[in-house]
């Protein structure tokens, strides 16, 4: 089953192939509609209100469908969607593989917490940081050279 990762919400969920990102988000309690009037969006005729914009990055070729004609329309209610890039309408983006989704700012803040879970995905900077610490440990194990005796002042 394809996996959809909502980066801002720090959630990874499974989706059925053929579901839209909006259906996946609704089924898993992720709110894509931001701002004051969250309930005001196209419920039956998808693609006209332009309120479910997300940045969807497919992790493999063919993980998302191509941009639809509803997304390519030049005149849009809430601004246009560029022809290139990862900005998509969640009601038009069909999931066929693993996808990372970044939602827009302005969401309801999460409950306050003093813990911050580390991102489990591999990253280059973390690997470099761990190697730096390993090299520092190796330096401590090596015997240090004795300092040369200071010359006597004449």
Contacts of 127-136 with C-beta under 8 Å, sequence gap 24+, read none
Assess contact for 12 and 33: CB atoms under 8 A.
no
DSSP label at residue 95: B
| Mean pLDDT of all residues in 119-128 | 84
Strands 3-6 and 99-103: parallel
Residue 53 above 90 pLDDT? no
- How confident is the model at residue 107, as a pLDDT? 52
Q: Is 20 exposed, middle or buried (0-12, 13-18, 19+ CB in 10 A)?
A: buried
- How confident is the model at residue 95, as a pLDDT? 94
CB atoms within 10 A of CB 115: 4
- The model's pLDDT over 72-115, given as tens digits with 9 standing for 90+, comes to 777 666 666 776 788 888 888 999 999 999 988 665 555 677 78
| 85 vs 98: CA distance, rounded Å | 17
Residue 137 above 60 pLDDT? no
The separation between CA 135 and the C-alpha centre of its own chain, rounded to angstroms, equals 32
Query: What's the chain's length in residues?
Result: 154
Task: Give the chain's domains with CATH numbers.
Answer: 1-109 (3.10.20.30)
- The model's pLDDT over 2-20, given as tens digits with 9 standing for 90+, comes to 999 999 888 999 999 899 9
Write down the pTM of the prediction.
Answer: 0.63
- How confident is the model at residue 136, as a pLDDT? 56
- 6 bridge partner residues: 11, 101
- Cα separations in angstroms, 145 against 127, 137, 142, 149: 30, 17, 9, 12
């Amino acid at each position: 089953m394809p996996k959809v990762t909502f980066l801002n919400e720090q959630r990874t969920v499974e989706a059925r192939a053929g579901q839209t990102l909006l259906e996946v988000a609704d089924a898993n309690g992720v709110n894509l509609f931001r701002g004051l009037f969250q309930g005001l969006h196209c419920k039956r005729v998808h693609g006209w209100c332009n309120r479910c914009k997300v940045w969807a990055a497919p992790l493999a070729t063919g993980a998302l469908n191509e941009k639809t004609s509803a997304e390519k329309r030049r005149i849009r209610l809430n601004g246009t969607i560029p022809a290139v890039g990862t900005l998509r309408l969640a009601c038009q983006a069909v999931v066929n593989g693993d996808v990372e989704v970044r939602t827009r700012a302005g969401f309801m803040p999460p409950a306050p917490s003093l813990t911050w879970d580390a991102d489990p995905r591999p990253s280059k900077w973390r690997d470099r940081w761990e190697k730096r610490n390993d090299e520092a440990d190796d330096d401590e194990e090596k015997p240090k050279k004795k300092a040369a005796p200071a010359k006597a002042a004449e």
